[in-house]
């Protein structure tokens, strides 16, 4: 490659024996992609058409599923092209855009889960005030904030990174993530400090709030009747499982971006690509009302 090409394009170096396993990768990836889109779309569709699911809790679940759909569309189409191409490359500007979508959507999950935790707290601990507090305006503001707050943080990082000089053009991964900063000739202290601020604002603080909220819910429900405890378990456990999934992915991304090894190269083919499939499985199986509608939908399909 000439210098002009190198200063514009980044090469993905995270594929393992791509020429040998090209079609196997493609079949696996497109199967996973179809499962993610279909399962998450089903959750959104059921919540959209059924009036009894037009509650804040289910609206937040639909928002998580929409996030997973957008999240996957930011990653998978490029992977399909790369798997079938001789060279796995991407323009640096497009790489930054993919990075922006990846982290904006991924990190907004924590904000949505924090909004869900607040909704569960009000519903279980202040049931009579729930319709007044969690009205349509409140839900709209919470959702817009959940999407815009992480996006604004990521946009600042993009602006600070756009004009930085690159000394390396090979990315140890199959899509653009935090490893892109290792391509820069000189690490930026401003970017590093702002990165810590971003992690605190969009991951640590929402996570602490969620844990604090669920601790209060557990404390209150422990002293309540069996029905209240059952309701809390049915609605809170799926949220906690999704939180564990999102937190594990976030921790993995932070660690793996700082570790250059064959381990990081092979696991990048597996880790983050599966996560959007977990949410619909968890909510589809663990949320009684959603599971009921899924079961009814499949039964009606069989009858036809």
Q: Which of 218, 211, 213 is nearest to 233 (CA)?
A: 218
The percentage of the chain sitting over the pLDDT mark of 70, rounded to a whole number, equals 87
CA 236 to chain centre: 19
Rounded CA gap, 133 and 51, in Å?
20
Structure tokens at 185: 């000739």
Cβ 271 vs Cβ 252: under 8 Å: yes
Measured distance CA(300)–CA(34) in Å, rounded:
22
* pLDDT, tens only, 129-150: 989 999 999 999 999 999 999 9
DSSP 222-283: HTS-HHHHHHHHHHHHHHHHHHHHHHHHHHHHHHHTT--SHHHHHHTTTHHHHHHHHHHHHH
Digit-coded pLDDT (tens) for 241-276: 888 888 877 777 666 655 554 445 545 555 667 778
SS3 call for 173? coil
**């998978």: which residue's tokens?**
76
Residue reference for tokens 């990165």: 195
Cβ-defined contacts of 150-153 (< 8 Å, 24+)? 150/103, 150/104, 150/107, 150/108, 150/110, 150/111, 150/202, 151/100, 151/104, 151/108, 153/107, 153/197, 153/198, 153/201, 153/202
Question: Element (H or E) spanning 10, and its range?
Answer: strand 9-12
Distances (CA, A) of 45 to 52, 295, 297: 13, 14, 11
> Can you list the domains of the chain with their CATH numbers?
9-302 (1.20.1070.10)
Q: Which tokens in the block code for residue 181?
A: 């900063």
β-bridge partners, 171 = 12
Q: What is the mean pLDDT of the segment spanning 173-191?
A: 81
> What pLDDT was estimated at residue 221?
79
Q: Tell me the pLDDT tens digit for each residue of 66-114.
A: 999 998 998 899 989 988 888 888 888 888 899 899 889 888 999 999 9
pLDDT band at 40 (very low <50, low <70, confident <90, very high): very high
Question: What pLDDT does 151 receive?
Answer: 93
> What is the rounded CA–CA span in Å between residue 29 and residue 24?
8
Q: With contact defined as beta carbons under 8 Å apart, do 47 and 59 qualify?
A: yes
The pLDDT of residue 1: 40
DSSP 169: -
């Amino acid at each position: 490659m000439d210098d002009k090409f190198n200063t514009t394009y980044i090469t993905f170096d995270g594929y393992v024996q791509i020429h040998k396993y090209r079609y196997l990768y493609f079949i696996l990836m497109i199967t996973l992609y179809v499962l993610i889109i279909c399962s998450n779309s089903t959750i959104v569709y059921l919540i959209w058409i059924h009036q009894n699911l037009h509650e804040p809790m289910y609206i937040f679940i639909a928002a998580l599923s929409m996030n997973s759909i957008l999240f996957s569309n930011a990653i998978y189409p490029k992977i399909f092209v790369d798997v079938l191409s001789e060279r796995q490359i991407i323009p640096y500007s497009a790489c930054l855009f993919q990075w922006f979508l990846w982290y904006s959507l991924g990190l907004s999950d924590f904000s949505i889960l924090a909004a869900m935790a607040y909704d569960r707290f009000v519903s279980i601990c202040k049931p009579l005030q729930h319709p007044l507090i969690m009205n349509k305006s409140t839900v709209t503001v919470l959702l817009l904030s959940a999407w815009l707050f992480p996006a604004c943080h990521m946009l600042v990082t993009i602006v600070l990174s756009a004009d930085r000089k690159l000394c390396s053009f090979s990315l140890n991964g199959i899509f653009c993530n935090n490893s892109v900063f290792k391509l820069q000739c000189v690490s930026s202290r401003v970017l590093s400090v702002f990165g810590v601020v971003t992690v605190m604002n969009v991951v640590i603080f929402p996570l602490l709030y969620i844990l604090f909220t669920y601790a209060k819910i557990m404390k209150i429900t422990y002293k309540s009747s069996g029905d209240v405890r059952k309701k809390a378990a049915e609605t809170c456990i799926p949220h906690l499982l999704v939180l564990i999934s999102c937190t594990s992915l976030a921790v993995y991304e932070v660690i793996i971006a700082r570790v250059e090894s064959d381990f990081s190269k092979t696991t990048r083919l597996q880790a983050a690509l599966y996560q959007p499939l977990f949410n619909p499985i968890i909510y589809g199986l663990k949320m009684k009302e959603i599971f009921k509608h899924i079961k009814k939908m499949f039964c009606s399909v069989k009858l036809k």
